[in-house]
Amino acid sequence: MTSETEDLNAIVRGARAEFRERQIVDAAIGLMQKKGAHSVSMQAIAKSTGVSVGLLYKYFSDKEQIVLAAITRVLEDFRIRVPAAIEKADDPVDRIIAAFTEFCQVVDEHRQAVVLTYQVSRSLSRDGLESIQTQELATLQPLIDVVSEAAAQDDLHNVDANTLGHDLMTMAHMWALKHWYFQQREVSLEEYIAQQVRTVVMNNLSESARKRVGTSAVR
């Protein structure tokens, strides 16, 4: 067998393993949303995924590892996509809006996992919780940095960058946590983002920044 063939086989095996892990995590998230995280067993997850319990344990040692994988997947999307969105904007205020918008879009794509995070975070082991908290702070930092950038050039007045950054992240999470409410009111994701930008970002702009940005910042 040539090295090229071995490399190709390794890539195929890796892709299959990644696909299987994603299947397991998706099935677990769905079950935990319906029945509660504590009521779902590894056997139930295996059955829902269509794999044997033995195979399930080859991928995840316990239920917490599945939960951590689900949360990490969301945080990884934040880590990759938020900085990329920021880089596409030039104006400091636009960069804040771009970061918040991308946070909301990621949350929308992973609503069940975001809700699950809040449901199970207290039951995670100390190591698991610390890992998630460390990752969360790292994914939030680009947003805090662009808020600091805008504050440094007096686009924002009397704003603490860390506080506003956390506020914006929490508002992004609220799209998942209260999605049933926004559905009832027929509020779209785009409308939700625009409302929060007007309330939290635009209302904190300095007069000079407000004149420069105008209403064009609210997409």
Range of the domain at 38: 1-61
Same-domain pairing of 116 and 196: yes
CA–CA distance, 102 with 91 (Å, rounded to integer) = 16
Are residues 6 and 37 both part of a single domain?
yes
User: What number of other Cβ atoms are within 10 A of residue 24's Cβ?
Assistant: 23
**What is the total count of domains within the chain?**
2
- Domain containing residue 47: CATH number: 1.10.10.60
Please indicate, yes or no, whether residues 81 and 166 belong to a single structural domain of this protein. Answer: yes
Rounded to two decimals, the pTM is 0.86
Residues 148 and 99 in one domain: yes
Of 17, 35, 61, the one marking the end of a domain is 61
pLDDT tens-digit readout, 59-90: 999 999 999 999 999 999 999 999 999 999 99
Distance set, CA 173 to CA 33, 74, 169, 193 (Å): 16, 11, 6, 12
Q: What is the dihedral of CA 148, 178, 191, 111, to 10 degrees?
A: 80
**Mean pLDDT on 42-63:** 93
Quote the pLDDT of residue 18.
82
pLDDT at residue 24 in the model: 93
97-107: pLDDT as tens digits? 999 999 999 99
Query: What's the mean pLDDT in 11-29?
Result: 80
Q: Are residues 105 and 14 in the same domain?
A: no
In a domain, 193, yes or no: yes
pLDDT of residue 207: 87
pLDDT digits (tens, 9 = 90+) for 96-152: 999 999 999 999 999 999 999 998 888 899 999 999 999 999 999 999 999 999 999
- Let me know how long the chain is: 219
Backbone angles phi, psi at 158, to 5 degrees: 55, 45
Q: What is the CATH number of the domain that holds 175?
A: 1.10.357.10
Q: How confident is the model at residue 170 (pLDDT cuts 50, 70, 90)?
A: very high
3-state secondary structure of 61: coil
Q: What is the pLDDT of residue 157?
A: 85
Sorted by sequence, the CB contacts under 8 Å of residue 97 that are 6+ apart come out as: 89, 197, 201, 217, 218, 219
Statement: residue 183 has pLDDT above 70:
yes
Whether residue 73 is found in the same domain as residue 135: yes
Nearest-5° angle of CA 168, CA 181, CA 203? 35
What does pLDDT average to over the chain? 90
Whole-angstrom Cα distance, residue 34 to residue 43?
Answer: 16
Do 17 and 97 sit in the same domain of this protein?
no
Tokens of 83: 């900085």
